[in-house]
Amino acid sequence: MLAVRVLGTVAILFVLSIVVFSMLHLAPGDLVKTLLGTRPASPEAVAAIREQYHLDDPLPVQYLRWLGGVLTGDFGQSIRLQTSVADAIGSRLGLTLALCGLAFVAAIGSGIPLGVQSAVRAGGVLDRIGTALGVIGLSAPTFAVGLLLLYVFAYYLPIFPVYGGGRGPLDTLYHLILPAITLAAGLGAIVLKLTRTAMLRELDADYVTSARARGIPEGRVRRLALRNAAIPIVTGASLLLTFLVGGTVLAETTYALPGLGTLLQDSVLFKDLAVVQALTLLVALVIAVIALLADLAYLLLDPRVRAKGGTA
């Protein structure tokens, strides 16, 4: 039932929040020193830190206080950037969303048509090219693809800028094209594979044979099959998201884009734990919500599941 599914998601997020909270206390080295960052460790500063983070309270109390802050959008202070974590994330969120959005559109726009065509003419030239591209897209690490694209389209053929986020909306968009293509290579490969497999199965079904036998035009038959193939494609969305999370970090690092991925990498290397905690929770939340939405979409797309009362 849907309620059970929602409860399960909440339970997983709860356990993860405990893990993320403990990270602060489990990290090697002295906690106070980590929180002080580059400031000198005078007794007053140490006392101030202990006071500020309530380090003398019992751990469950500390956890509840931290969770209360998180739920109201207060993730604490970034010791590296000297701003609130919420501000640090807010100022970089736009770029990452734009990058992921562009990559997503490119991946869907290329993966689905290519997947359908591959399935329609399975074993043909296009299918073999598609399969080969799919293997490369799935196997090649994002940063390796990114670096090679940089050579081709920014160095040997100087069409795109080498790195940076650009100024102003249009310039940013221009700077995002190559990173988005890099991300879309992996994403598109997953979409292509999901589409091809689902379409192959649908085109083999009895209703397709019967539709063809009744003389329904091939284009309409394919649209019919694609509608049914949409279910496994949509439920594969979590696969896309998992790829996108890691891929964004790598693509942003490769192209030196000031987004959430580079924020995560810099914060991890600097041991700016408040930022790392916030980003980890944020990603976990987004993934959990998208997985739930994918299940809901499954209900909407498949009348059979709806009729049974939804045991997604």
Partner 1 sequence: MSASLGAVGVGFRRRGVPVTVVVCLVVLAAAFLAVVLGPVLYPEATKQDILSSLMPAGSPGHPLGTDELGRDILALTVAGAASALVGPVCVAVGSMLLGILLGTLAGYERGPLDFVISRWTDLLLALPVLLAAIVVSGVFGGGYWTTVALLVLLFSPSDIRIVRAGVLEQSARPYIEAAQMLSLSRWRVMFRHILPNVSSLVITNAMLNVAFALVAFSSLSFLGVGVPPGTADWGRQLTDSRSIMFDNPAAVIVPAVLIIAVACAVNLVGDWLGQRLTRSGGLS
The contact set with partner 1 (CB under 8 A) reads: 8, 12, 15-16, 23, 26-28, 122-123, 127-128, 131, 134-136, 138-145, 147-148, 150-151, 155, 190, 193, 196-197, 239, 241-242, 245-246, 249-250, 253, 264-265, 268-269, 271, 273, 276, 280, 283-284, 287-288, 291
From the CB of 214, what's the least distance to partner 1, in Å? 29
CA gap 260, 179 in Å, rounded? 14
The DSSP code for 42 is -
Between 146 and 211, CB nearer to partner 1: 146
Between 228 and 265, CB nearer to partner 1: 265
From the CB of 172, what's the least distance to partner 1, in Å? 22
Between 148 and 216, CB nearer to partner 1: 148
From the CB of 24, what's the least distance to partner 1, in Å? 9
Between 102 and 273, CB nearer to partner 1: 273
CA gap 74, 178 in Å, rounded? 35
From the CB of 311, what's the least distance to partner 1, in Å? 17
Q: How far is CA 89 from CA 85, 86, 135, in A?
A: 6, 5, 34
Between 84 and 265, CB nearer to partner 1: 265
From the CB of 56, what's the least distance to partner 1, in Å? 23
Q: Is residue 84 classed as helix, strand or coil in its secondary structure?
A: strand
Between 239 and 305, CB nearer to partner 1: 239
From the CB of 281, what's the least distance to partner 1, in Å? 11
Between 15 and 300, CB nearer to partner 1: 15
CA gap 300, 190 in Å, rounded? 23
Q: Give which of 177, 104, 192 is closest to 146, Cα–Cα.
A: 177
Beta-carbon contacts of residue 190 (< 8 Å; ≥ 6 apart): 107, 111, 137, 138, 236, 239, 240, 243
Segment (H or E) for 36: helix 31-36
From the CB of 140, what's the least distance to partner 1, in Å? 4
Residues in the chain: 312
Token pair listed for 25: 């206390």
Token pair listed for 292: 């739930």
Token pair listed for 55: 């380090």
Token pair listed for 117: 């065509």
From the CB of 67, what's the least distance to partner 1, in Å? 18
As a three-state string, the secondary structure of 25-72 is HHCCCCHHHHHHCCCCCCHHHHHHHHHHCCCCCCHHHHHHHHHHHHHC
The DSSP code for 160 is S
CA gap 4, 67 in Å, rounded? 23
Give alpha helix (H) positions in 121-236: 125-139, 142-150, 168-203, 206-213, 218-235
Between 199 and 226, CB nearer to partner 1: 199
